[in-house]
Structure 1
């Protein structure tokens, strides 16, 4: 009798744990559906910003990293070519560097990613180097402090793996700069360097497949539990 009571208690416990697992899997699926809606809204917003008419750069007290990411902007200023920094990059053109140059707009300094140069084109003598006042059109991007998951920036040896605006400004002796940079569009000759306009405006969207996976796991697990419960009931009815 005690063994039967113990077996029933264990069965009830296992059934409760199984129900909790099924609920957890369903909740994970629901969370992915919520993420899907968020991602679709983000994609729509970014496409509207990135491919619309260029607008003025947000003011110092207006900028919002989420609201203004990939916003197409236009600005005027003078490049400080002597303060250019090179940030490691890999693009569709191969390995090389992003050319980061501060632009003095008169009101403030805004770092500009003038574009990509391959490893063998790092020497500026063969570049397009606009002098005097220039108009820059491009996509607004948020700061990338510190480095990447695999490597850190090393300002002391001028080695950069991310667009860390604070560290770049300090290295160049600038008092301050805008908390964002601009990926410039390519406006010079098609085969000239740096090569702008290489910003990838796309977002991986696998939330629907993840949601379906969680729901399928919940269904399969619930089916397996139901099968065990029915099998146990049939086995007990024979005695």
Structure 2
């Protein structure tokens, strides 16, 4: 190699080594994420199978977090405000349709309850009149954190009454609900009168591709080091 090309080759080799360091760091980060995800999965699995506890009231709302409370079984009693239900688009094991979110009013506060799934032909409350009673009911389900904004590439449109995510704050404002819990409840599979909505369809699943991502980053780091070694060897080869 000529003297003019040698500095250029060493600069390229140095850049390749730095790139390998960054890629390796990304691999380590993915391994750390994998350990965190496995810890989360174990915690949620233990939480889901615990006995239901009373739904958190206003004094506990500031301390609620997804890490500590998501998917915790809770129980609450109150009256459903059926005239203020909200339909949120959903795709479930039963196909496409809607989640039926109905406010449940207690003496102290109101909480949104995802009472379950209805297919498009049950969207109109008139097709499920058994759900219009005003008696006091006890609901058991999983605590879920709010889903602000909307769905993938689709934004909630309160003015048009189009909902793609269970955004507690936006739904409460659109329905004039006042003081509402900062979470909603996914109702369990206890059958509703008339069969709809269908509860108990919560999917508790977490993606866990971190090992694959880590191996990809480490492979790319190895290729960058291999490229750096080739450039150095070529530089050391007599002209």
TM-score higher than 0.5 here? yes
1:157-196 equivalences under 5 Å are 157-188=160-191, 192-196=195-199
- The equivalent residue for 2:31 is 33
Aligned match of 2:159 = 156
1:82-121, aligned counterparts within 5 Å? 82-121=83-122
The question of whether the paired residues in 1 share the 8 Å contact of 2:101 and 2:112 is answered with yes
Q: Which residue in 2 is equivalent to 1:122?
A: 123
Matches within 5 A, 1:200-215: 200-215=203-218
Q: CA shift at 1:149, angstroms?
A: 3.4
2:133 is the counterpart of 1:134: no
Deviation sequence 1:93-123 (CA, Å, 0-9, x none) = 1111100000012110000000000001113
Task: Confirm or deny: 8 A CA contact 2:158 2:170 kept in the other structure.
Answer: yes
Structure 1: which 4+ aligned runs deviate by more than 6 Å?
none
CA RMSD after TM alignment: 2.0
Distance 2:12 2:170 in 1: 56
Cα distance 1:118–1:197, how it changes in 2: closer, same or farther (>3 A)? same
TM-score (norm: length of structure 1): 0.90
Give the distance between the partners of 2:109 and 2:116, measured in 1 at CA.
21
Cα distance between partner residues in 2 of 1:202 and 1:74:
22
Contact 2:17–2:224 under 8 Å retained in 1: no
Please name the residue that 1:221 is paired with. 224
**1:153 and 1:11 mapped to 2: Cα distance?**
54
1:204 deviates by 0.5
Report the 3-state secondary structure (helix = DSSP H, G, I; strand = E; otherwise coil) of the residue aligned with 2:87: strand
Larger RCO, structure (CA 8 Å, separation 6 or more): 2
Distance 1:146 1:25 in 2: 33
How many correspondences in the alignment? Answer: 234
CA–CA separation in structure 1 for the residues paired with 2:25 and 2:234: 28
